[in-house]
Amino acid sequence: MTKFHCLQRGTNFVNSMNQDSACTILQVVAALPSCQALRDACEDCCARHFDYCIVPPAIEFQALEVSCLLRILQHPALCVISEEKILDAIMMWAANKDDVHGWEDANGRARTEGASLFQDQMEDLKLLLPLVRFSLIPLHILQMLQDTDICILGKLIPAVQALAVEAIEYLCQDLTSSNQQQEIFQSLHMRTQGRLVKFPQSNLRFSHRLSTYKELLYISDGDCNGVFYFIGTSFGVHRWMNPVLTKRLVVSASSPPSRFTDAKALVSRNYQGTSFAGPCNVAGGLSAWWKVDLGEDHKLMCNYYTVRQDSSSSFMRDWSFQGSMDGQKWLELRTHRNDQTLCQAGQYASWPIFGSQALLPFRFFRVLLLSPTTSFSAQWNLSLCYLELYGYFR
């Protein structure tokens, strides 16, 4: 193969590369000196889509060489929704087990397997762990990481405990209560005296990373911290207006628009006495749904959602909360079976989304009724007057 053909093939790879193929291509080209430009392009793609690359099962990511992982973690364009995900990724890579998806999974396995969990990766971990910006991890998690009674990883890998302690000391500078500072420092002294690995101070380790996602996390039912509220404020710029009216959000229902099936009412934040999506045919059977389209330029990693019952007694018991990228193929994010939560008119109810499903970004979301409601007269009316989503929004 001529040099021209090699160059042409490399260009074709770069043009066709995306977050689905970057790790796979990187495994092949990492050790080829003539493919440095393609390797750099793969690492750049992995860094910009890091959250996507580590969604379990991350087989291609776990197969990367340590040199590639080092460059990705030091890449100036690295984007991640939270610093804890960097630590999770390192532990997942080092353990290289199907059921280890983060530091908590690794900690559980380490209690029974000890250092053998990481086999020959101990020296690599010493290089990788200082690249985690522990000061960006929440304080309560840092306190678990430095407590070797809770986190066995601190015993097996002293750098885990040392870096957690360093971050706690850094964060304690901002605590307003001197008693709180003293209590934390005393705990650190008792647990770590004479057993710490010292690291040189680096301003980079205490600075925030790039993130393409806005953190919009659930606080309470009906709060002003959700995605639809954020969109309604023109992404935090103006006073809130119904995002359907401003055409920043598209809401649709399983039945045609009517006096009682009003798309804009679902995100209006006003209590609607009668609001329902009527029955339709889904996959050959009866169902009903409310659907939201965030728009072509926006995606959400959803980790919580809230609904509100209208004034009727059509309480849903079996339903699915789903996400989709194209509005055609749907992935179940949470399925409810005989869920008795909703039992009063006007009641709010909220549920978390667990595991790897909360790390997948979607453009479309819907609440899909799976069985008749408790109503005798309108069994397939999905009677909701409010919906709000939470998570990491782009």
Q: Examine the pLDDT at 175 and tell me if it is beyond 80.
A: no
Question: Cα angle at 296 between 272 and 42, to 5 degrees?
Answer: 140
Q: Examine the pLDDT at 257 and tell me if it is beyond 90.
A: yes
Q: Decide if 382 contacts 289 (C-beta within 8 A).
A: yes
**pTM of the predicted protein model:** 0.57
Question: Cα angle at 124 between 118 and 127, to 5 degrees?
Answer: 135
Give, in order, the Cα–Cα distances in Å from 339 to each of 133, 219, 296, 373: 41, 22, 33, 11
Q: Examine the pLDDT at 271 and tell me if it is beyond 50.
A: yes
How does residue 203 score in pLDDT terms, banded at 50, 70 and 90? low
Q: Decide if 226 contacts 348 (C-beta within 8 A).
A: no
Q: pLDDT by residue (tens digit) across 61-70? A: 999 999 999 9
Domain with CATH 2.60.120.260 in the chain: 214-393
Q: pLDDT by residue (tens digit) across 124-144? A: 998 999 999 988 887 888 889
CATH topology of domain 214-393: Jelly Rolls (2.60.120)
d(CA 261, CA 26): 50
Q: Which two tokens stand for residue 246?
A: 């401003």
Count of C-beta atoms within a 10 Å radius of residue 83: 19
